[in-house]
Structure 1
Amino acid sequence: MKRLVAAAALFCAFSGVLHAATLDDVKARGMLNCGVNPGLQGFAAKTEEGQWAGFDVDFCKAVAAAALGDPSKVEFVPVNAQERFEKLNSGAIDLLARNTTWTMERETKLPLRFVGVSYHDGQGFIVKKLLGVTSALNLSGAAICFLSGTTTQANVEDFFREKEMTFTPVMFDRLDDLVKAFDESKCDTYTADLSQLYAIRLRLANPDDSLVLSDVISKEPLGPMVRQGDEQWFNIVRWTLFALVNAEELEVTAAGADELKAKSKKPPVRRLLGAEGTFGADMGLDPEWALRAVKATGNYAEIFNRNLGAETPLAIERGINGLWNAGGLLYAPPVR
């Protein structure tokens, strides 16, 4: 009997998780709590005016526009690599939009789900030019800086073991401490996602004295995360991401979205912008959810170019983050 009661209690607890209504909580609060990097230029960092800006910041705004009708209704919660999953699981944040790699273990061991890939990345190395290193294959015996709570050390261990190379790990809990250590040559190299290395390089005392090696030792599909068990919220966040990608493919921009909704005769555009279909209602939103998201931040290309592209200090090329029909990997299911 006790076993049946315990099993029933477990089922009820699990069922409660399954039917958790994050959208209701967000609406009642009037604010989306979005977990972001404490400070990574181009992705999430405060400007000199104290405003949050970046690629991930814009995604949070797009979700707030879709779900709440207002992109300003976001509380940005800085979370480090060690605490990010606990913050999401505990409900302290509704959405994690912080450069996080989608892996099997993270999705099967943790009660969390990735909604998709927002940025295709790969792990690399940054070194001081004075070392004369031109390839990761020259790093055997190096002291390598790592940030705790990431997958970077495991990737290096795999790469170095395969190449029969050795290294000495130098661990840090805070990115600021790590950057300072690398700047002071207390380690020979720092390894992270290439997008992060481009941003970190700009924080060094003399950025031109360091270079990011061309070697890529892993694939790092970065994407937003939500809690498992709430399919409605999962769909809202996932399809906001897809809407931004589809908007680029359909040439829907922030400035032109309203006019296209009123005048476009293209069925995919009309469905995306709410002129046809019940796609918003199917998620508990109104028909203009995607229209608001695009107007708030622009389509994927506008977000990328504004925060990471050629006209920014990072000057990152679209590359594999280009659309599938332009030689990249970016692909979103259609709204239909």
Structure 2
Amino acid sequence: MKNALKLGLAALALAAATPQFASAAPGDTLKAVQARGVLNCTSSDGNFEGFAEVDAQGNWHGLDIDYCRAVATAIFGSDDKLKLIPISWAQRFPSLQSGEIDLVIKASGWLFSRDTELGLQFSMPYFIGVTTFMAHKDLAAKSLADLAGGTVCVAGGTSTEKLVSDYIKEKKYDVKVVTFEKNTEATAAYFANRCDAYAEWGPIVAATRATSADPDSHDILSDALSLEGEAIVMRQGDDNWVDIANWVIAAQRIAEENGVTSKNIDEMKANPPNTVVGKLLGVTPGIGARLGLKDDWAYNVIKKLGNSEEMYNRNFGTESRYKLPRALNSLWNKGGVFYAPVLD
């Protein structure tokens, strides 16, 4: 009898020490989206280069659009059940709060005031926006330090002007700031060679260069004046929905770190090179149940949209017209700030 009791207690102790992975209960937002059969996500009310653009055939593309597609694919297995709803900048958060849309993916900065005062919740950043410079290629400048005695055009009375002025003062660079009333005037002056460089938010700099008469005659410099993390925005109070957004972003970084791409994913799934890839692609069960999704959700996302490097290059990098260096948007082992969370 005593031996039986000891065995029973030992079995209980072993069970307590062994992780038990229960399926996650879908949150209210996931249940509503699944019941509706459609994910309502933002699209721009006008072109926002690199993030949300519409082509001549009426097809939307861009980094923000791709993340809408990624979340829809994680839930439904494809992006066929994605509805893109044009939302203005001013209406993006009220539309989310009212339930008109399920999540905001619109180059929205993760700010303390938004996080604490508006009833919103943010994912991990999916893009790091930096304020930087563009310079005429014939100056052979790599950074602003190479433009001693030069000038930089900037829109006056803006946060960019202050950032640039403070940066030059801090670094003790011999560069003069030339201000203009409007950003369009600043860019026109730069292209007219009235300034050696032009300063703005990185994606805007890249778009300005790409749409110029001769994009190859301008270089984006290495300086990074400020950082702003762009994140997926959701209503506060649904942890499961935030988990889904976070792990959609994380899955693509895990894929990149482990060499999984949209092109080799089937080979990787058939013969996973390590346990992480096996878990990621659903060969080892569990990645879906913990989120209330199917185990092939990450496989479907990466197969459809690629890993984080492929997503960036398609929309901003080497495969786009913008050719914006990935820089801080790279993984940590490639010189950036992003990393792949542990899939355990």
If the TM-score is normalised by the length of the shorter chain, which range does it land in? 0.7 to 0.9
1:332, distance to aligned residue in structure 2 (A): 2.1
The alpha-carbon distance between structure 1 residues 200 and 36, as it changes in their structure 2 partners (threshold 3 A), is farther
The alpha-carbon distance between structure 1 residues 137 and 21, as it changes in their structure 2 partners (threshold 3 A), is farther
Query: Which segment is superposed worse, 161-170 or 262-271?
Result: 161-170
Q: Is the 8 A contact 1:193 1:220 kept in 2?
A: no
State the alpha-carbon separation in 1 of the partners of residues 284 and 109 from structure 2: 35
Is 1:334 aligned to 2:342, yes or no? yes
The alpha-carbon distance between structure 1 residues 140 and 80, as it changes in their structure 2 partners (threshold 3 A), is farther
Calculate the TM-score normalised by the size of structure 1. 0.76
The alpha-carbon distance between structure 1 residues 156 and 291, as it changes in their structure 2 partners (threshold 3 A), is same
State the alpha-carbon separation in 1 of the partners of residues 325 and 206 from structure 2: 12
CA RMSD of aligned residues (A): 3.6
Q: Is the 8 A contact 2:269 2:278 kept in 1?
A: yes
The one-letter amino acid of 2:125's match is V
Q: Unpaired runs of 5+ in structure 2?
A: 1-25, 138-142, 171-175, 190-194
The alpha-carbon distance between structure 1 residues 73 and 169, as it changes in their structure 2 partners (threshold 3 A), is farther
1:190, distance to aligned residue in structure 2 (A): 7.8
Name the counterpart of 2:39. 32
Q: Report the number of matched residues.
A: 303
The one-letter amino acid of 1:200's match is T
The one-letter amino acid of 2:90's match is Q
Is 1:201 aligned to 2:209, yes or no? yes
Deviations 1:157-201 (A, max 9, x none): 466478599997857xxxxxx65x65666xx99864202221133
Residue identity (%):
34
Is 1:288 aligned to 2:286, yes or no? no
Name the counterpart of 1:5. none
Secondary structure, aligned partner of 2:310? helix
- 1:54-73 → structure 2 map (5 Å cutoff): 54-73=62-81
Is 1:144 aligned to 2:155, yes or no? yes
Name the counterpart of 2:120. 112
1:206, distance to aligned residue in structure 2 (A): 7.0
Name the counterpart of 1:308. 316
Name the counterpart of 2:265. 257
Deviations 1:1-54 (A, max 9, x none): xxxxxxxxxxxxxxxxxx971112222222212223431232210122211111
State the alpha-carbon separation in 1 of the partners of residues 298 and 229 from structure 2: 24
Secondary structure, aligned partner of 1:36? strand
The alpha-carbon distance between structure 1 residues 89 and 155, as it changes in their structure 2 partners (threshold 3 A), is farther
The alpha-carbon distance between structure 1 residues 87 and 231, as it changes in their structure 2 partners (threshold 3 A), is same
Secondary structure, aligned partner of 2:241? helix
Calculate the TM-score normalised by the size of structure 2. 0.74
The one-letter amino acid of 1:307's match is N
Q: Is the 8 A contact 1:34 1:97 kept in 2?
A: yes
- 1:214-233 → structure 2 map (5 Å cutoff): 215-233=223-241
Secondary structure, aligned partner of 1:99? strand
State the alpha-carbon separation in 1 of the partners of residues 335 and 216 from structure 2: 31
